[in-house]
């Protein structure tokens, strides 16, 4: 199966925009457009590994919570060909998908396949259009501690995730 032609997971997009994608040794979570808030919408448990199959005992024992997340984005669209992912165009959705994958929130196996992580946008914009508050949702992994002595509150986890994603945005 070929990734979406407008995703940086697609070879043509990588060539056109000189983006280097490094395939991780193991697909597990590791710990301008800006995300200004991330909200916990729905909880789902999952094991994060290559295509959903644990490859060793230690990995199988590690549970990474998967949630339906909503992000509120604001952006200057001057350098982009609109918001919605579009073949061979630099779009805001493609940039967000790349940042989410690099941050470890979207599995590498799902990178380039928005339907696999249930991507949904509240609106689309045309080329060069700016936005102050646009909402998108998707299923992603909570990449920070959720259990034990060092557990973070949900709010702290989401703040840390927002910071991690912003590090990978233009």
Any idea which residues carry the catalytic annotation?
Answer: 126
Query: Residue 14: which of 23, 26, 1, 24 has the closest Cα?
Result: 23
CA distance 90 to 73: 17
Q: How far is CA 129 from CA 7, 83, 95, 124, in A?
A: 20, 9, 15, 10
Task: Give the β-pairing of 34-46 and 64-75.
Answer: antiparallel
Q: Which two tokens stand for residue 26?
A: 């193991």
Q: Tokens in use for 116?
A: 């696999």
Task: Report in angstroms the alpha-carbon separations of 170 from 36, 89, 146, 154.
Answer: 15, 16, 29, 26
User: Residues near 135 by Cβ (< 8 Å), separated by ≥ 6?
Assistant: 70, 71, 72, 73, 121, 122
Are 51 and 27 in contact, with CB atoms under 8 Å apart? yes
């Amino acid at each position: 199966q070929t990734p979406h032609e407008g995703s940086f997971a697609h070879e043509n997009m990588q060539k056109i925009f000189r983006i280097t994608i490094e395939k991780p040794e193991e697909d597990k979570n590791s710990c301008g457009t800006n995300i200004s808030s991330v909200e916990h919408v729905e909880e789902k448990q999952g094991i994060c590994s290559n295509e959903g199959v644990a490859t060793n005992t230690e990995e199988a024992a590690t549970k990474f919570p998967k949630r339906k997340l909503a992000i509120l984005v604001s952006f200057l669209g001057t350098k982009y060909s609109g918001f919605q992912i579009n073949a061979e165009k630099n779009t805001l959705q493609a940039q967000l998908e790349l940042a989410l994958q690099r941050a470890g929130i979207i599995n590498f196996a799902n990178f380039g396949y928005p339907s696999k992580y249930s991507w949904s946008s509240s609106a689309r914009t045309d080329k060069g259009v700016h936005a102050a508050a646009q909402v998108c949702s998707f299923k992603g992994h909570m990449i920070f501690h959720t259990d034990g002595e060092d557990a973070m509150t949900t709010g702290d986890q989401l703040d840390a995730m927002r910071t991690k994603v912003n590090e990978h945005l233009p």
